Amino acid sequence: MKAQEENEPYDDINITPMLDLSFVLLIIFIIMTTATVQGIEVNLPKASDTPSLSEPRTKAVTITQDGSIYLDTYPVTLADLEARLRQLRAVDPELPVIIKADALIQYQRVVDVLDIMNRLEISQLGLVTQRLVK
């Protein structure tokens, strides 16, 4: 390799000092941005106990093969189911409810749950079924 003469022009530019400077500026920018965001103090508003719009509105009543009844994922009796749905309907008169029942249960359990829906005047009601595969 021959050494470069002092009068010859450079073929490449050394960008290392330019990259060092840009990284230092980036680090300063990150530190200043996070420092100003963390330094702001505010009094956050308190949330109410009423259900928010982000919570799912639709309630699911599930009847398992052994006849157990669940409201969403919580086991309930028929009396508990009626009381809880009455409270939920008081908050939301248009409360939608779906009923999922095992295919092998006694039909009377489904009728008992439908009777509760009728007494509470829940009109947005759905029955979950499976599509037949042909």
* CATH number of the domain residue 86 falls in: 3.30.420.270
Residue 123 lies in a domain: yes
Residue 121 lies in a domain: yes
pLDDT digits (tens, 9 = 90+) for 4-28: 667 777 777 888 888 999 999 999 8
Whose tokens are 């490449």? That residue is 12
pLDDT digits (tens, 9 = 90+) for 69-128: 888 888 899 999 999 999 999 888 888 998 888 888 888 888 899 999 899 888 888 887
Residue 36 lies in a domain: no
Residue span of the structural domain in which 71 resides: 59-127
pTM for the model: 0.55
Residue 65 lies in a domain: yes
The answer to whether the beta carbons of residues 79 and 73 sit under 8 Å apart is no
Query: In total, how many domains does the chain have?
Result: 1
DSSP string, 64-107: -TTS-EEETTEEE-HHHHHHHHHHHHHH-TT--EEEEE-TTS-H
Tell me which residue of 132, 59, 109, 65 sits closest to 89, measured CA to CA: 59
Residue 27 lies in a domain: no
Residue 84 lies in a domain: yes
